């Protein structure tokens, strides 16, 4: 992005979390459409989405910071339209923050100009990350449920942090109308808090139950949302899923390989999802192939694959950087169109080659 006052001079803006929230809150349908468009671009090969890079700490194995670089080419080859955008999300996950009263995750995202490579904005990105995760989940749930012929009316939330709250918001915005909701969490206080949130959000029309046993939560729901911080599988009995629910396996490491192999599976990107010790990766290691993965969400969107009604259906999204990029550009454009960008004067100082 360049300054109108100084032709050719790049500008740099900082977009706060408050501005991000204002741009996204109440606009869930727009965000879901943005995420769907990004998935379609990815499926058409018009993105670059390298592996995520994990910064880990030997003395703090539960903590990590992840870099997600990506590039989104909005126009096709030879088009003269939107050249797209490059960027990177830098997101930390420190579970111990919760006990101190802080959210587990914090993040920033840098947008780079597609033509010059210059960074033109830094956005607070914990909200963007939560929103793109929730929009992806709601999009997948709607398309998979509609393909099966019926939308679930009983939902179960396994893990009740910020991501679960955003997923609930986006499911409601995408037309899901639940009559029953189940809640389970390792923290009884957090489970009760989330149950109270659901009752405030939905009113008397929704019956909310806090389940002490994980099995009861799974068996009571036709749509199960896993949004935990589990590092390895802890749900191991395939019989819990005998009623063939739709499962949003957002946290990726909750289900045993046996459950994955007993289910019909879709992912966001096969190569990305089947690595780093995810449940599908463990299933691949167990059987030595990937045939248990039916395809990607792009395949669902285009009708190339259709989920069955007589098996559990599991969507396991690794989380693509191109989704963060698409939502961040959506936010930036919103703030810019409202003439509310906070630019940093003189951010780029050495702009003359010889001084």
Task: Give a yes or no: residue 197 inside a domain.
Answer: yes
Residue 327's domain spans which residues? 13-128+321-343
Instruction: List the beta strands (DSSP E) in the chain.
Output: 13-15, 47-48, 53-56, 64-72, 85-93, 105-113, 119-124, 154-158, 180-184, 207-210, 223-226, 246-249, 264-267, 293-296, 313-316, 342-343
**Strand, helix or coil for residue 331:** helix
Task: Give a yes or no: residue 4 inside a domain.
Answer: no
**Statement to judge: residues 176 and 91 lie in one domain:** no
**Statement to judge: residues 45 and 191 lie in one domain:** no
**Statement to judge: residues 266 and 199 lie in one domain:** yes
**Statement to judge: residues 202 and 300 lie in one domain:** yes
Predicted confidence at residue 350, as pLDDT, reads: 84
Task: Give a yes or no: residue 200 inside a domain.
Answer: yes
**What CATH number does the domain containing 191 carry?**
3.40.50.720
- Counting the structural domains of the chain, the total is 2
**Statement to judge: residues 109 and 221 lie in one domain:** no
Task: Give a yes or no: residue 2 inside a domain.
Answer: no
Span 312-326, pLDDT tens digits: 999 999 989 999 999
**What CATH number does the domain containing 32 carry?**
3.30.1780.10
Residue 216 near residue 244 (C-beta atoms within 8 A): no
Three-state helix/strand/coil letters over 167-231? HHHHHHHCCCCCCEEEEECCCHHHHHHHHHHHHHHHHHHCEEEECCCHHHHHHCCCEEEECCCCC
**Statement to judge: residues 338 and 208 lie in one domain:** no
Predicted confidence at residue 204, as pLDDT, reads: 82
**Statement to judge: residues 84 and 186 lie in one domain:** no
Predicted confidence at residue 1, as pLDDT, reads: 60
Predicted confidence at residue 145, as pLDDT, reads: 98
Task: Return the structure tokens found at 32.
Answer: 């879901």
Cβ density class 73-89: b for 16+ within 10 Å, e for less? bbeeeeeeeeebbbbbb
**Statement to judge: residues 45 and 104 lie in one domain:** yes
**Statement to judge: residues 73 and 165 lie in one domain:** no
Predicted confidence at residue 352, as pLDDT, reads: 83
Predicted confidence at residue 264, as pLDDT, reads: 98
Task: Give a yes or no: residue 22 inside a domain.
Answer: yes
Residues of the chain with pLDDT under 70: 1-8, 75-82
Predicted confidence at residue 300, as pLDDT, reads: 98
> How far is it, in rounded angstroms, from Cα 226 to Cα 104?
16
Residue 181 near residue 158 (C-beta atoms within 8 A): no
| Helical packing angle, 126-148 and 162-173, nearest 10° | 50
Query: Which residue do the tokens 């126009």 mark?
Result: 75
pTM metric for this prediction: 0.92
**Statement to judge: residues 176 and 27 lie in one domain:** no
Task: Give a yes or no: residue 35 inside a domain.
Answer: yes
Task: Give a yes or no: residue 351 inside a domain.
Answer: no
**Strand, helix or coil for residue 292:** coil
**Statement to judge: residues 310 and 329 lie in one domain:** no
**Statement to judge: residues 99 and 144 lie in one domain:** no
Task: Give a yes or no: residue 353 inside a domain.
Answer: no
Instruction: Tell me the pairing of strands 105-113 and 85-93.
Output: antiparallel
């Amino acid at each position: 992005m360049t300054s109108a006052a100084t032709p050719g001079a790049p500008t740099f803006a900082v977009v706060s979390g408050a501005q991000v929230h204002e741009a996204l809150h109440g606009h869930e349908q727009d965000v879901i459409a943005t995420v769907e468009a990004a998935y379609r671009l990815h499926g058409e090969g018009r993105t670059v989405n390298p592996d995520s890079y994990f910064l880990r700490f030997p003395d703090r194995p539960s903590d990590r910071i992840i870099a997600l670089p990506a590039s989104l080419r909005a126009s096709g080859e030879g088009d003269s339209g939107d050249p797209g955008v490059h960027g990177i999300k830098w997101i930390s996950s420190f579970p111990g923050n919760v006990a101190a009263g802080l959210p587990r995750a914090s993040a920033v995202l840098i947008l780079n100009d597609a033509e010059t490579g210059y960074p033109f904005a830094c956005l607070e990105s914990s909200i963007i990350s939560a929103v793109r995760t929730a929009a992806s989940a709601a999009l997948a749930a709607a398309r998979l449920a509609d393909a099966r012929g019926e939308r679930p009316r009983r939902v179960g939330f396994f893990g009740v942090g910020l991501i679960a709250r955003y997923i609930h918001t986006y499911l409601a915005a995408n037309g899901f109308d639940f009559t029953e909701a189940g809640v389970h969490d390792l923290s009884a206080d957090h489970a009760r808090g989330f149950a109270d949130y659901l009752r405030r959000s939905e009113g008397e029309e929704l019956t909310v139950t806090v389940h002490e046993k994980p099995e009861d939560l799974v068996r009571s729901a036709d749509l199960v949302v896993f949004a935990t911080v589990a590092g390895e599988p802890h749900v191991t009995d395939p019989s819990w899923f005998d009623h063939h629910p739709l499962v949003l396996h957002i946290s990726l490491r909750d289900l045993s390989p046996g459950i994955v192999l007993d289910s019909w599976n879709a992912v966001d990107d096969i190569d990305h999802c089947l690595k780093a010790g995810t449940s599908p990766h463990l299933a691949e290691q167990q059987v030595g192939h990937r045939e248990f993965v039916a395809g990607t969400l792009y395949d669902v969107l285009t009708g190339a694959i259709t989920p069955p009604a007589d098996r559990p259906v599991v969507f396991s999204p690794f989380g693509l950087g191109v989704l963060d990029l698409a939502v961040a550009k959506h936010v930036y454009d919103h703030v810019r169109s409202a003439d509310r960008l906070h630019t940093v004067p003189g951010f780029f100082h050495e702009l003359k080659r010889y001084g």
